Chain A
Amino acid sequence: MRLYEFEGKELFKKFKIPIPESRLVRSADEVVAAIDEIKAPVVLKSQVLTGGRGKAGGIKTAESAEEARTLAEDLFKLTIKGYPVESLLVEPKLDIKNEYYVGVTIDRANYTLVVIASGEGGVDIEETAEKHPAKIIKQPLAVEEELYTFDALAIAKQIGIPATLIKQGAAIIVSLYNMFKKYDAKLVEINPLVLTESNLLLAADSRVSLDDDAVFRHPELKEMGIEMRHEEGEMTPRERQATEWGIPYLDLDGDIGMFPGGAGFGIMGNDFIHYYGGRPANFMDSGGGPTPERLAKMLVLLDENPSVKAIFGARFGGISRCDDFAKGVVMFLKDHGLSKPMVMRMTGNMWQEGVRIFEEAKQASPELFKNVEFHGIETPIEEISKRAVELAKINAATPQ
């Protein structure tokens, strides 16, 4: 879960990491009011949950209140990588003498936390890391370890923080590390950590990403107004619908509706469709042990999508049960109805019961099944993929 810059800075404040004076505003009028308190020149920073906002024109400097109003009006019309700008952070323009980079993250391959620092902060830090790795300091720490001040002092010195300020610099690094651990973060970054002409160290920007799976441990975040959210841009109406139903779903640009089991085959099934010359219309994940209701809703999403020309279904039941899968499909066929051809394969946990449910439903109402081709373990999934591509081509070529 990614936090907005202003939320990250709220956490910085709690950990006594110095930040510039700032006001969060949601309209051009509020910008002018903020400038009464924070004197111009100011910086207006779009609050969006994506990187590269500076390069996208989302950060502006204003010399006066009038100029700030005009710039803010434009910023509020801006959409950055799918994220509309709904709020701005107003901060005094800093006289920058130097910019550093300080961050903490997880090295998943080596199972450690890592403190990262550089004397060359700013937007091009990744390029620096790639081209001049020597300019980046990395200190790995086991998850239960403390970051001691003496280590942080050494880091502050190495990245070139002036001698008179290394104690403050070290304190900032230690606080950032403690904050990372306290909030179950995946990433915390100060980029840049600014040294001003008047010799202050300030966290000019924040980037904080927390572990969704650990948010339950931090009810205080909710009190701070930080709500659970997903790291994604603007959703299509269908994606929004799927999200409301709790189904991980992405629209793609093809014409084969993908109704897979878990995420693993959800991803690979899309590759298979490509290998056989087709294009998937979506990515979807049923989650482990889905209910029949949920499975029926997954099919509704596909059937109602006009770009979908054929539906590809696959279930290899592990924790998910084939009887539930069959019930979900039958529920969909009865309550909603299938308007396009569908080919599917079902095997695994409780497959005999699944087959029985299909057979019974088909005997009772054969017309519901006229567009369904059903296979079991005897047909390889590759054949099902090929057939889905074929069905989509036939259907697309048939005049409606």
Chain B
Amino acid sequence: MAILVDKHSRVMVQGITGGAGKFHTERMLAYGTNIVGGTSPGKGGHEVSGKPVFDTVTECVESTGADVSVIFLPARFVKEAAIEAIRAGIKFLVIVPEHIPIHDMLHVRREAVNHGATVIGGNTPGIITPGEANLGIMPDIAFAPGRVGTVSRSGSITYYVADTLTRSGYGETTCVGLGGDPVLGSTFNEILWKFEEDEKTKAVVMCGEIGGVYEEKATEIIPKMKTPVLAIIGGIYAPPGKRMGHAGAIVEGRMGTAKEKLDALTASGAHPCKTFTDIPETLKRLRM
């Protein structure tokens, strides 16, 4: 078991003929990911790494049965590409490019919610279920199959945390990159809940950072979870950031410093970690 992707996922790549698309399709295939095809308007009929290219997502879905898509396209094309995928029936979407316009992401999120699809990113390193599927840009070396899930806003932190879990013998069920853009396709809550429902995941490490509201929001769901949540937050010593005017403060309340986030998460039942090595130590304390 795992969440969101496994060896049975039928994965397509939007932007499969581009530089990044080609390079990472090759890597994902080499890992054993079940890539079934991709799209690039105008290049239907071609092949990349032996996989068929289609003009539209609908054609790709009809021919290959794709149910998951990874987007490797310039930011300005992401809104259309994401909505195209969701309407064509893709249920899980990984948006790798960064700097997606915020209003575009709001549209994508609406579309996903209306169609019961899950989106991660923009600016996500992707998602990996070790030994089964690697979607996005994550380096294989950090990961091994195991029993802890991770969800993070940063790529490099995902790698460090997974590396620590791998080397301490815990391994990972699935590692999810939420993404680094200001408005993301999914929040911690939704991913945490998927881990809660996954039998194989015995604990979850959530990695947040200074700024934004997604960590605070997770305090609503952590008390409802039986699976223990470990929290690590970057930016405890960061100089105070810029604020986004009165309206931001009115809507989002006191903007979260890293310290406030970690305190709030701890109060809601999460186990705080300062460094990566604290993670296996905490798991041990939890008799795992």
Residues in B whose Cβ lies below 8 Å from that of A213: 75, 99-102
**B183–A108 touching, CB < 8 Å:** yes
Name the interface residues of A245-268: CB closer than 8 Å to any CB of B: 250, 252, 260-265, 267-268
Residues in B whose Cβ lies below 8 Å from that of A317: 139
Of the stretches A22-30, A185-193, A292-300, A355-363, the one at the interface is: A185-193
Residues in A whose Cβ lies below 8 Å from that of B275: 272, 275, 382
In the assembled complex, A340 has its CB within 8 A of some CB on chain B:
no
Question: What is the size category of the interface that chain B forms with chain A?
Answer: 35 or more
For B157, the closest partner residue in chain A by CB is A264
CA A261 to CA B160, docked complex, whole Å: 12
B135-166 near A? 1/0 per residue, CB < 8 Å:
00111011000000000111111011001100
CA A107 to CA B102, docked complex, whole Å: 11
In the assembled complex, B236 has its CB within 8 A of some CB on chain A:
yes
CA A267 to CA B239, docked complex, whole Å: 10
**A264–B75 touching, CB < 8 Å:** no
In the assembled complex, B252 has its CB within 8 A of some CB on chain A:
yes
B170-198 near A? 1/0 per residue, CB < 8 Å:
00000000001011000100000000000
A44-56 near B? 1/0 per residue, CB < 8 Å:
0000000100000
Name the interface residues of A315-365: CB closer than 8 Å to any CB of B: 316-319, 347-349, 351
For B212, the closest partner residue in chain A by CB is A108
A212-250 near B? 1/0 per residue, CB < 8 Å:
111011000000000000011000000000000000001
* Chain A residues with a Cβ closer than 8 Å to the other chain, count: 68
Residues in B whose Cβ lies below 8 Å from that of A316: 139, 142, 156, 159-160, 163
In the assembled complex, A381 has its CB within 8 A of some CB on chain B:
yes
In the assembled complex, B89 has its CB within 8 A of some CB on chain A:
no
CA A260 to CA B109, docked complex, whole Å: 32
Residues in B whose Cβ lies below 8 Å from that of A86: none
CA A240 to CA B266, docked complex, whole Å: 39
For A383, the closest partner residue in chain B by CB is B277
Name the interface residues of A98-116: CB closer than 8 Å to any CB of B: 101, 103-109, 111-114, 116
Given contacts A116-B250, A262-B154, are A106 and B102 in contact (CB under 8 A)? Answer: yes
Q: Which of A105, A143, A280, A380 contacts B110 (CB 8 A)?
A: A143
In the assembled complex, B98 has its CB within 8 A of some CB on chain A:
yes
Say how far A314's CB is from chain B's closest CB, in angstroms: 8
In the assembled complex, A393 has its CB within 8 A of some CB on chain B:
no
**A136–B238 touching, CB < 8 Å:** no
**A264–B274 touching, CB < 8 Å:** no
**B237–A382 touching, CB < 8 Å:** no
Say how far B42's CB is from chain A's closest CB, in angstroms: 23
Given contacts A262-B156, A265-B156, A348-B159, are A104 and B247 in contact (CB under 8 A)? Answer: yes
CA A377 to CA B242, docked complex, whole Å: 35
CA A138 to CA B154, docked complex, whole Å: 32
Given contacts A264-B156, A265-B156, are A217 and B214 in contact (CB under 8 A)? Answer: no
**B235–A116 touching, CB < 8 Å:** no
**B107–A143 touching, CB < 8 Å:** yes
Q: Which of B104, B107, B157, B163 contacts A377 (CB 8 A)?
A: B163
**A268–B209 touching, CB < 8 Å:** yes
In the assembled complex, B224 has its CB within 8 A of some CB on chain A:
no
Q: List 27 A-B contacts (CB under 8 A).
A: A105-B244, A105-B248, A106-B106, A106-B251, A108-B213, A111-B113, A125-B250, A143-B107, A144-B107, A187-B244, A187-B248, A207-B246, A211-B101, A214-B101, A214-B102, A231-B242, A264-B152, A264-B157, A267-B154, A267-B209, A316-B139, A318-B137, A318-B139, A347-B141, A351-B141, A380-B167, A380-B276
Contacts A116-B247, A380-B277 aside, 15 further interface pairs with beta carbons under 8 A come to A109-B187, A114-B247, A138-B250, A211-B101, A212-B99, A213-B102, A264-B180, A265-B157, A268-B157, A270-B237, A271-B274, A318-B125, A319-B125, A347-B141, A347-B142
Which 4 residue pairs across A and B have the least CB separation, nearest first?
A: A264-B154, A268-B234, A214-B101, A105-B247
